[in-house]
Amino acid sequence: MAVKDSEISEIIRGLSATQKHISPKYFYDERGSQLFDAITRLPEYYLTNTELGIMRDNIDEIVAMVGRQASLIEFGSGSSLKTRILLEHLSELAAYVPVDISDEHLRSSAADIRDEFPHIDVLPVVADFTKQFDLPTPTVMPVRNVVYFPGSTIGNFEYDMAMELLRVMHHEAGKNGALLIGVDLQKDPQIIEDAYNDSAGVTAEFNLNMLQHLNRNFGGNFNLGEFKHSANYDPEGGRVVIELVSQTEQTFEVGDSAFNIADGEAILTEYSHKYTLDGFAAMAKAAGFSVQKVWTDAEQLFSVQFLTRD
Residue 213 CB contacts under 8 Å (≥ 6 apart), including other chains? 26, 27, 29, 31, 32
What confidence tens digit (pLDDT) does each residue in 125-165 have?
999 899 999 999 999 999 999 999 998 999 988 899 999 99
How confident is the model at residue 3, as a pLDDT? 55
Architecture of 1-127+135-218+276-310 per CATH?
3-Layer(aba) Sandwich (3.40)
CA neighbours closer than 13 Å in the CB half-sphere of residue 130:
16
Show me where the domains of the chain are located.
Answer: 1-127+135-218+276-310
Q: What confidence score (pLDDT) does residue 25 get?
A: 85
**Predicted local distance difference test score (pLDDT) of residue 1:** 46
Do 113 and 87 meet the contact criterion of CB atoms below 8 Å apart? yes
Interval 75-107: pLDDT, tens: 987 656 789 999 999 989 999 999 988 788 789
pLDDT single digits (tens) 4-25 = 788 999 999 999 999 999 998 8
Degrees, nearest 5: CA angle 100-106-107: 140
Q: Which of 81, 59, 57 is nearest to 298 (CA)?
A: 57
Calpha distance 113→186 (Å, rounded): 33
- 10 Å CB burial of residue 117 (0-12, 13-18, 19+) is middle
